Amino acid sequence: MNASDLRPSLAGGPHDVAVIGAGFSGIAAGVALLKQGIEDFVIFERSEQIGGTWFVNRYPGAEVDLESHIYSFSFEPYDWSRTHADWSELLGYLQGVARKWRLDEHTLLNTGVETVRWSDTAHTWSITAADGTEHGPFRAVISAVGFLNTPLIPSFLQGETVFQGDICHTSTWRDGLCLEGKTVGVLGTGSSAVQIVTEAERLGKAVKVFQGAPNWLLPKNARDFTPQERRWNRFKPVYYWRRYRLYLDYDRRQYGASHARVGGRVNRKRQKMVEAFLEQEMGAHPELKELLRPNFSVEARRTVVSDTYYAALRSPKTELVPHRVVDVTPTGVVDAQGQHHELDMIVLATGFDAANFLGTYRVIGENGLDLREQWSEGAEALYGLVTPNFPNLFMIFGPNTSGIPLVTFYEAQARFAAAMVKKLVRGRATIVRVRRSFHDYYNRRLQRRLSRTVWTEVPSYFHATSGKIISQWPFSPTAYLIGTRLARWFGVKAS
C-alpha cells in the first residue's frame, strides 16, 4: 500500500502549500503554517516515519552535539533524560510534537520528491514524486530537507562490492546490524565517527580507525540528568531559564564571528582549550598525540565534541591508521600505503554531499531555469530563505544558515516562510520573489565577512566545489533573527 492509499485527501491537489521533509525543519514549517491559520498543506517525507535526521541516523552511539534544552523547539519543552539526547529520545520527541500538532495528518510518508516545477502562467508549483505521481498545484513550496542528507560513498564502494562482511554508512544503519565480537573498520574521524568508534571499542573485538586528516576535539560533558534535576526541569521557568542561558552563551561566542574569525577572542580561547584537551588525554602517548594534531586552526573544520573518543583510541583494542582507504577486498580494505587490513565490518562515517543544496530533487523555476544551473558556482540565497528566479519557494536550512543553535534558525526560517505564504493564501499576492538588488548586496557582504574567517584555511564540507563558503553563518543567532525580520520587510516583493 502506498502513501496515496493511506492519505487520499493529501494526494493530487490543489493545495496551498507543499513542505518537503518531515524532520526538525519540516515540523517547524508545519507548526508555523498552523499558527498563521494555514491548514491546507502537504508534507512530503521519503522515509517511512517522521523524524528526518533522527530517523535515519540510528547507528550505535548516535546523539546530538548540542544541549537538549537548546536543540529542541522553543514552543515544546520536554522532560529530557540527558544533557545531550540520543537519537531515540530525539526521534520520540519529534514524533510526539508532530502528533500533538496533528502534522501526521498532513504527511505523505514513503513519498520522495523527484521534481518541483514552476508554472510561469499559473504562478503555481507542481511536484512529481519519485514514483511518478503528480501532485499540485501548490501556491508555495517550503523546502525543509537541509543539505546533510546525501551520503558520500567512496568510489571504490559504490555499486556492487566484493567485501563479504557487513558494510554500512552511518546514515543508513540497518536494524539488526551489530558490532559485537567483530573487527570493525571505521572510515572517517568526524562527529559520527567518534561516536561509532566509542561503541565499536566497547562492543567489538577490535577497531581500526582510518584517518585521512585529524580534527580538533573538545569535551562534550554529556551525562544523564539526576532525578532532582529532572524534577526542576519540569518546572517551566527553570526549563526556559536553562534554555535562555545556553542561547546567550552561543550568542556571545558567535558575536562578530569571534569563534571563527582569524584572531578572534573566542577562537584564540578555543585553540587553547583543544590543545589542553589533547595534551590531557594523549600526553602520555606522544605518537598518538602527533597523529591527532591537525595542521589547521580550531573551527577551520567542524570541531568534534566527545568525552570518549580519545579514551577509545588509547584502548589496546583500537588501532589508529593515519591513512585513507583506497580499495576493498573480500576480507578487508587496503589503505593508501598499500597495507591490507582484515575486517569483519566496514562503517562509513564519510559524511554527506553538503555542497549540493536541495540535491535530493530538481527544482525548475521561471523560464525553465534549473536551480542546479543557477547554483553551479555555489548556492546562495537571501538569509538562506529565497533566491532569484524561484518565486514562492522558501528554504529552511538553506545556504549559509548553519549556525548554532540550529533549531532557533529553523524556527525563524519557518516563521518567515509562513508569513510570506499567508500573503499568497489570503489572496494579497500571487507571487513572492526576492528583490535582486537586496539579495546581491547581502551575499557580497556575507562573502566579505566569510573571507576573514578560519573557514577559508582548508577544504571542508563548508565549501562548494568552486571554493565558495556556502554553509556557514558568520554572525550571531540574534543577528540572524533580526535579519529575517528585515528580509520580510525589505528583502522580498509580493505582487
Would you give per-residue pLDDT tens digits along the chain (495 residues)? 344 444 447 877 899 999 999 999 999 999 999 999 999 999 999 999 999 999 999 999 999 999 999 999 999 999 999 999 999 999 999 999 999 999 999 999 999 999 999 999 999 999 999 999 999 999 999 999 977 778 888 988 888 899 999 999 999 998 889 999 999 999 999 999 999 999 999 999 999 999 999 999 999 999 999 999 999 999 999 999 999 999 999 999 999 899 999 889 999 999 999 999 999 999 999 999 999 999 999 999 999 999 999 999 999 999 999 999 999 999 999 999 999 999 999 999 998 877 778 888 999 999 999 999 999 999 999 999 999 999 999 999 999 999 999 999 999 999 999 999 999 999 999 999 999 999 999 999 999 999 999 999 999 999 998 999 999 999 999 999 999 999 999 999 999
Task: Please give the model's pTM, rounded to 2 decimal places.
Answer: 0.95
Domain locations in the chain? 3-150+354-494, 157-224+264-348
> Can you read off the three cell numbers belonging to residue 68?
537538549
Radius of gyration from C-alpha coordinates of the chain: 23
Question: How far, in Å, CA of 204 to CA of 230, rounded?
Answer: 33
- 113-119 and 124-129 beta bridge pairing: antiparallel
CATH architecture of the region 157-224+264-348:
3-Layer(bba) Sandwich (3.50)
Nearest to 114 by CA among 101, 126, 98, 130: 130
The strand pairing partners of 394, in sequence order, are 142
Are domains 3-150+354-494 and 157-224+264-348 of this chain identical in fold? yes
Q: Which three cell numbers stand for residue 316?
A: 589496546
Q: Which residues of 167-178 are buried (b: 16+ CB within 10 A; e: fewer)?
A: bebbbebeeeee
Query: Strand pairing partners for 187?
Result: 210, 348
Q: What is the CATH number of domain 3-150+354-494?
A: 3.50.50.60
Q: Is the dihedral of CA 336, 352, 295, 66 positive or negative?
A: negative
